[in-house]
Structure 1
Amino acid sequence: MTSSASPARGRRRAEKAPRSVISPTMYRAGGVAAALALAVSGGAYAAVQVTGPDDAQPMTESQARLQDIADTSAPDVDVSAPEAEESSELSVEGDQSSVTTVTEDVTDAHSSSQQETDSLPQGQTQVGTAGVDGVSRVTYQVTMRDGQEVSREVISSVVVTQRVDEVVLVGTGTAAAAPADAPAVSSAPAAQTAAAGTDAASAQAVARSMMGSYGWGDEQFSCLVSLWNRESSWDYQAENSSSGAYGIPQSLPGSKMGSVGADWRTNPTTQIVWGLGYISGRYGSPCSAWAHSEATGWY
């Protein structure tokens, strides 16, 4: 006989929550997390989790502890690496540069040439045009770097003294063929011509007798008188104690007149011949020389 099932036997056992299957690996991970949590000091503290530049929310205590553990367990970072890289770059200090202006007088040396003339006896020489070195006043812009000049550029240049090339006349004629208006120095004894110019009046007479050979008239002679009155008062022994200029034309230095004659210290005619040649070569005429002297105080 079949007995009827009891109520207890007919009922199903109450269902429990299904067990989770946890692998050994998960157990170990949980243990490590727990150990890390215990490593943090038990004191509760506030922490902030930054999620953006304008949005900051407080972290829970557990989050803060885990964050702290993560920070301390993170591998060390060599913060000096960027500095080391930067220091390895080539660093050049700025150059010590300066720009200044310098003014210098630059000399342009004159040249010399010979010119034949039948107005002088064969073999005789005479300075037709006295040579004068040119002088220019030049201003430079100079660039200095670390005490050394690296460049200079001309800013301005002003001619102070015009260069005049010397011309020496070389005689090809005969003594009889010499022109009647030739300077007395070429035919008269040196003592006689020297005596003729030892005073202002006779020196002016000697100069006037020579001016026709340059094509100059009386108007040029009056300029010459004014010019050499200012320079020496027509004194053949006049000497400037400061500069050393000498004689009637105040040649500087006086030895330049040696190109005409070795007696330049004592012979007024020698001085006058040189002086007229100098004026002709440099200024073209006594009046031009006088105008320059009026403007500058020298010629």
Structure 2
Amino acid sequence: MATHHKAEGPSLRSLSKRQWMRIVSGVAGVGLVAAAGIATSNIYRHSDVVATDQPTAYSITDDTYAASRGNAREALDGDPTYINVTINGKTRTVLGTDFTDVKSVLDAGDITLEPEDTVTPALTDKVDESTTITIERAGAQMETEETKIPFNTVRKETDSLPKGEEKVETEGEEGIMEKTNLVTRSGDKVVSSNTFASWVKKAPVEKVVLVGTGVAQDTTTTQQDTDSSSDSNASSGSDASQSQSANSSIGTTVPVGDMQQWAHDYLLANGGSEADFTATVYIITHESGWSPTATNPSSGAYGLAQALPGSKMASHGADWATNYQTQLKWFWDYCKGRYGSIQGAYAFWQANHWY
């Protein structure tokens, strides 16, 4: 089982003005723009993965990177510390507790060094919030690309339409995933491409289709029908209430791609519902655009569910960094442990834009 943080955990509101200024400067220092590559791996990956007791998950959409709100703010255990790490001129902030030396910061941020990297200060040097760790990788540069995030179609039943009739309530719109890589080239050839950050720049808009469940209306009106209209009005309040209830349903989502199809089948085979799947798709789409290697540049939140740190998911498998199934199983357990259900997490996300 995953270790979950209580919603009433310690707050970062007590941080000093200088500390918050460092957070803002860390986020502002992140420059993002595109890269295609072969042999892609995550630059924030540490080979010796240990689940640590730090914040779990929060959204990277809406407000820029959400660095100062949500679980990142409220779910820390212990005295929070922010250390900036600059790699080839681009900066990200590593959030954690009980940092001791440079190596402890890199470990918390899942930052793997290459043999030829230059690190300042030295790995064994002590750190505090005035420390900025600088890593230079010769022959590499940051490049950014944007890719499209497909939208889902959600079907919602309503008795405001006759049975069998369908109506498009909202047209779907693709989202945008922005990915920045640290790329090493030999001439025009890409030798390696390591992910610096990937995040949902713009969440897709679901296509919502209303599916009628009501009784077809008879267009022939008689005097008797008119006379009995007052009687039918007596039940109109109840009908309206039922219609509103039907319209408030989160609906049934059509899976897109192999990951979503697996998630759908797994949930339903293990006691979940179509509504649980709809809730899952909505949260994961907004958190990571269904990228198992999505990395928040301001904190290092990682994976489909944007776990913070990503190593939290090691409780569900050593392959947490790349296996979407492991990440989703952690996500579902996290939702149930913190909010009571997947739909509970969905309702909280709708109200707060983080979970």
The answer to whether TM tops 0.5 is no
* Bigger proportion of residues as helix: 1
What's the TM-score once normalised by structure 2's chain length? 0.30
Larger radius of gyration: 1
Q: Which has the higher contact order (CA 8 A, sep 6+)?
A: 2
What's the TM-score once normalised by structure 1's chain length? 0.35
